Amino acid sequence: MSSIVKYSIVVPVYNEEEVIHETYRRLTEVMRSTKEAYELLFVNDGSKDRTAEIIKEYSEQDPAVVLLDFARNFGHQIAITAGMDYARGEAVVVIDADLQDPPELILEMIEKWKQGFDVVYAKRTKRKGETYFKKQTAAMFYRFLRAMTDIDIPLDTGDFRLLDRKVCNQMNSIQEKNRFVRGLVSWVGFKQIAVEYERDERLAGESKYPLKKMLKLSMDGITSFSYKPLKLASYAGVTLSGIGFIYLLVVMYLKLFTDSTITGWSSLIVIQLFFSGIILIILGMIGEYIGRIYDETKNRPLYIVREKYQLETREEVSLRD
């Protein structure tokens, strides 16, 4: 179990047959220029197209290419977790397959790593070719998350980053099921630094992150790192009963000292609907936490591997199995 591989490039792929050729070409070009040993570890997250076959073909000709093939789609965060579990390199880089993250930036990351940084994360200064809605919601989310949590999660930063072996080992020991990987990396600590870049357009194909997956990721981010939503119920309760009490005084005053009476079936209904809504939202939020507690207690494996292609099994992996 020697570490002959210096760099592991972890690439999660889900239905990426349209871009995978170019991704392989550009990553190979960049990594060869380092003149050091590397591996391209593709994690196939249950693709329904030819992605896995294409990677296997590359792997036949190029020993640097290895494939971890999931039994089904487990999601991006789980795919990169598995990649980190199986990576052998002294430095591990996680990068998207669609070339939105420019592979050339890896060289800059490596430089910072050689200067002694343990985590080098890529911060987006610009996002090209993404919808206004996505950019705005993403920007809002990162700021909201920062306000909600106590740990220092950098703004506008995705999962494109380099991790030193020791950080990667720490990540591999985290057993959490609903993972928000970039938050966990911040939580682990060590010496971290940013490199900036402009996020390109997706080379081809569509985003594999529909709104539903984005919402799941956001909820994972918030619930993994904050209890504040749970406290909201008590804050709302205290505020609303305060308002209710004041209103009671007003009503009593009007009844006792004036001739006016308070009428209104409609206002009653509005208030009723409004507060039932608040109560249900809060119940739902508590449900989000309970569901996650349930996931933890079931303690299922994080992912199921169908096949390890050209990938040697390592001892550390059993840590999670």
Interatomic CA distance for residues 76 and 181, integer angstroms: 10
Q: 91-94 and 119-127: which strand pairing?
A: unpaired
Interatomic CA distance for residues 320 and 86, integer angstroms: 11
By beta-carbon proximity to ligand UDP, the closer residue of 45 and 69 is 45
12 binds ligand UDP (CB under 6 A): yes
Interatomic CA distance for residues 274 and 155, integer angstroms: 34
Out of 17, 30, 39, 45, the residue judged to bind ligand UDP by CB under 6 A: 45
16 binds Mg ion (CB under 5 A): no
> Is residue 208 within 8 Å of residue 45, measured between CB atoms?
no
Q: Encoding tokens for residue 176? A: 């959490």
Stretch that binds Mg ion, among 78-86, 171-179, 199-207, 229-237 (CB under 5 A): 199-207
> Is residue 39 within 8 Å of residue 92, measured between CB atoms?
no
> How many H-runs (helices) and E-runs (strands) does the chain carry?
10, 8
Stretch 201-220 residues interacting with ligand UDP (CB under 6 A): 202, 207-209
100 binds ligand UDP (CB under 6 A): yes
Interatomic CA distance for residues 285 and 148, integer angstroms: 14
Q: Which does 76 bind (CB under 5 to 8 A by kind): ligand UDP, Mg ion, none?
A: ligand UDP
Out of 7, 9, 10, 16, the residue judged to bind ligand UDP by CB under 6 A: 16
Q: How far is the CB of 66 from Mg ion (least distance, A)?
A: 22
Stretch that binds ligand UDP, among 9-17, 57-65, 149-157, 246-254 (CB under 6 A): 9-17
Interatomic CA distance for residues 98 and 11, integer angstroms: 10
Return the CA Rg of the chain.
Answer: 25
Q: How far is the CB of 93 from ligand UDP (least distance, A)?
A: 13
By beta-carbon proximity to Mg ion, the closer residue of 100 and 218 is 100
By beta-carbon proximity to Mg ion, the closer residue of 63 and 129 is 129
By beta-carbon proximity to ligand UDP, the closer residue of 60 and 201 is 201
Q: How many residues does the chain have?
A: 321
The dihedral region occupied by 143, where left means phi > 0, alpha psi between -120 and 50, and beta the remainder, is alpha
> Is residue 43 within 8 Å of residue 76, measured between CB atoms?
no
Q: How far is the CB of 188 from ligand UDP (least distance, A)?
A: 21
- Burial (0-12, 13-18, 19+ Cβ within 10 Å), 135: middle
Interatomic CA distance for residues 55 and 40, integer angstroms: 10
- Count residues contacting Mg ion (CB under 5 A)? 3
96 binds ligand UDP (CB under 6 A): yes
Stretch that binds Mg ion, among 23-31, 194-202, 264-272, 309-317 (CB under 5 A): 194-202
Q: Which does 229 bind (CB under 5 to 8 A by kind): ligand UDP, Mg ion, none?
A: none
By beta-carbon proximity to ligand UDP, the closer residue of 160 and 225 is 160
Stretch 79-118 residues interacting with Mg ion (CB under 5 A): 98, 100
Interatomic CA distance for residues 295 and 220, integer angstroms: 12
Binding site for ligand UDP (CB under 6 A): 12-14, 16, 45, 73, 75-76, 79, 96-98, 100, 202, 207-209
Binding site for Mg ion (CB under 5 A): 98, 100, 202
